[in-house]
Structure 1
């Protein structure tokens, strides 16, 4: 059967137009805008070294994902970031003993299985094998958790309508470069909703800043090569200031009269000075003279309730990997548990966490009172807890640095 020249191409155009007409007007405009936006990135991609063939292949038919969180969509209310567990759960829910115990058991097995590789990583970067194992365990359950999103689609969408467009514009182009250089196949570049990818969850820019070809096969593969992924995590910590031979934190028992509002990174004292003020290392632990001389900050994740910690510089290095105190506690404690089965010496208290909007209201009031100068984000982190403590002292309330209904009512009355 003969074919009319150009018939198939004309039919495809007509069908495409019909499909476009069937879409809601806003969706047609948004997707057309997205396609134009992606195409406009070619000069920047070329400047970054992305081959034209890679750019065309990866962006062909690329569609936005408007179901992602943290977007600013025209005509719709802003979509907030998802309620990350490390910010809305109480510590006992996030640092679950059952989860820690399960991961620690697997970490012990992997420590033996990859002993030579981990020893070489520790020798080169100064980061303990247990710490990089703990990051791997927390990020992807030692590779058993499959990241749910298409990284390229996530990064392109966030660059187009996300809250941090400029950052994601760069990340999208770096993702194209990674694929163009053959580090990972397009289909294997899975990510979180925020675009972090690989066994230890790196953004594409972090891949270029910290990635290591540790297995020596000529490419950096943080998706399939355990040596590359763990060495890259170790190099990221080293590049951000990891101090060889220093613990991440010391669990201590706080004195009864502790001023919990001192629990901020800006207040550091030698560990020996904290000990002289009545803080006692748990389980009779004895610290060397060098350890007592190390500067540390106070951390009380539940305010005056639950465990207390003296956190070293390495604590804040891990925090640059994920800006959450509970994340660092999880990783640090899991690293310890791979070598020692003992849980925290002080149990978590049965505290409840206020809703994010209530914590946000607290932050707004504390800002008006001049006690808080950080982000209004509904997350009860170090700075928020310290500001609450300062307010409790000024208002004659019980000093516990914990966001509660009683403090919320008091602030509302102001």
Structure 2
């Protein structure tokens, strides 16, 4: 009896030592979890309207709890970090995105996968008109050809983000889409895995895109992009074809950064016949020439690091790749990896060391550029997209700074006056 009293007393004392803020946090999470469970139950009418059976609905949400470790959360009643402090790799220093050790490993593995799946890839290319190397490059970029483990429970992630994410209106349709995938029987509940943001399978596709573009290429009756490479690769090819991929047209060509290159002419809004660019003095690297058919095709200027890195003329197919992922650097990586799998030739131009800044500083610069009448894009976001690069170049030219279309120290210093 004395031992029991001692134990109870000890536990009570230990509980009293728990800081108030820890207890408050635990209580807050418990209340929020209860709200979440009520919210899940309330989604049944919407699910039912979208063809979800009660059995699938109950199975999908059985034992699902909030995932507090996800990025991009906005818990109810809590302050969240300034969006400007968060970083995305796609918008960091451009050169870091193209680490040679990483690319070399992907090239080697990509060639192995090309040999292993040669018949399947050939059939996919014939059916959809998308080059094998492009399909392989997407696969390699997304999951290292299926080697990367996809750890997140799709339903749990999308339910959490739909309930208390920053972009609830974006993620909620994806949650409904994931339920429809289960309803259609393409994958079992315990194998429905994705990235934290709901991108599924070996080539990372969101549920709504899956429902629209997924293909059963291996003929087993299921569209299985998780464990069937034929289905995953054909699904990617189908998506690119439906987005406008042009057969027998490259994604782009590296150019020499001669004085003829005007970095303020960058951007898809300046898409024009390549012969027009050549007439301004623009040249390909290593003495290569644009053939007559290529000269008739259209291209636009792409300078991811301004004049501090490789430059390119990119075609409309480059912007098809951007529909898979909207980052310029993502599309460039895929195009480059596809070329490397074929010829293993690196870029001629080098990624120079450039100044990088917090998104807060870039936001300040963008606001300055806006006040002076320059177009920096849809919004002030702290990201150095092509419109911001062009605006920087025009600003540099106006104030007699070196025009390189990249926000260096001199440019930010001038903008801070």
Q: TM-score, normalised by structure 1?
A: 0.91
Count of aligned pairs: 392
- Taking only aligned residues, the RMSD between alpha carbons, in angstroms, comes to 1.7
Question: How many angstroms does 1:22 deviate by?
Answer: 9.4
Q: How does 1:124-273 map to 2 (within 5 A)?
A: 124-273=127-276
1:367 and 1:373 in contact (8 A); partners too: no
- 1:299-325 deviation digits (Å, cap 9, x = unpaired): 111101221100100000001111111
Q: Pick from 376, 396, 401 the counterpart of residue 400 of structure 2.
A: 396
Q: What corresponds to 2:353 in structure 1?
A: 350
- 1:100-155 deviation digits (Å, cap 9, x = unpaired): 11101111111111111101111111110000100000000111101232211110
User: C-alpha distance in 2, partners of 1:243/1:165?
Assistant: 35
1:261 and 1:389 in contact (8 A); partners too: yes
Q: What corresponds to 2:19 in structure 1?
A: none
Q: What corresponds to 1:31 in structure 2?
A: 33
Q: Unaligned stretches of 5+ in structure 2?
A: 1-22
Q: Pick from 51, 68, 71 the counterpart of residue 70 of structure 2.
A: 68
1:315 paired with 2:313, answer no
Structure 1 residues 385, 23: CA separation in 2 closer, same or farther (over 3 Å shift)?
closer
User: C-alpha distance in 1, partners of 2:263/2:145?
Assistant: 36
1:38 and 1:59 in contact (8 A); partners too: yes
1:406 paired with 2:406, answer no
What SS does the corresponding residue of 2:205 show, helix, strand or coil?
coil
Question: How many angstroms does 1:357 deviate by?
Answer: 2.0
User: C-alpha distance in 2, partners of 1:142/1:61?
Assistant: 32
1:297 and 1:310 in contact (8 A); partners too: yes
1:70 and 1:78 in contact (8 A); partners too: no
What SS does the corresponding residue of 2:71 show, helix, strand or coil?
coil
Q: How does 1:289-304 map to 2 (within 5 A)?
A: 289-304=292-307
Structure 1 residues 277, 24: CA separation in 2 closer, same or farther (over 3 Å shift)?
same
Question: How many angstroms does 1:337 deviate by?
Answer: 0.5
What SS does the corresponding residue of 1:296 show, helix, strand or coil?
strand
What SS does the corresponding residue of 2:268 show, helix, strand or coil?
coil
What SS does the corresponding residue of 1:24 show, helix, strand or coil?
helix
1:333 paired with 2:336, answer yes
User: C-alpha distance in 2, partners of 1:351/1:91?
Assistant: 9
Q: Pick from 96, 119, 122 the counterpart of residue 122 of structure 2.
A: 119
What SS does the corresponding residue of 2:345 show, helix, strand or coil?
coil
User: C-alpha distance in 2, partners of 1:149/1:410?
Assistant: 46
Q: TM-score, normalised by structure 2?
A: 0.90
Question: How many angstroms does 1:405 deviate by?
Answer: 2.3
Question: How many angstroms does 1:290 deviate by?
Answer: 1.9
1:95 and 1:329 in contact (8 A); partners too: no
Question: How many angstroms does 1:26 deviate by?
Answer: 2.3
What SS does the corresponding residue of 1:321 show, helix, strand or coil?
coil
Q: What corresponds to 2:45 in structure 1?
A: 43
Question: How many angstroms does 1:266 deviate by?
Answer: 0.8
Question: How many angstroms does 1:273 deviate by?
Answer: 1.1
What SS does the corresponding residue of 2:269 show, helix, strand or coil?
coil
Q: What corresponds to 1:364 in structure 2?
A: 367
2:264 and 2:393 in contact (8 A); partners too: yes
User: C-alpha distance in 1, partners of 2:74/2:315?
Assistant: 38
Q: Pick from 294, 308, 311 the counterpart of residue 305 of structure 1.
A: 308
Q: What corresponds to 1:4 in structure 2?
A: none
User: C-alpha distance in 1, partners of 2:86/2:139?
Assistant: 22
2:361 and 2:382 in contact (8 A); partners too: yes
1:271 and 1:293 in contact (8 A); partners too: yes
User: C-alpha distance in 2, partners of 1:22/1:386?
Assistant: 49
User: C-alpha distance in 1, partners of 2:132/2:236?
Assistant: 11
Question: How many angstroms does 1:205 deviate by?
Answer: 0.3
Question: How many angstroms does 1:47 deviate by?
Answer: 1.4
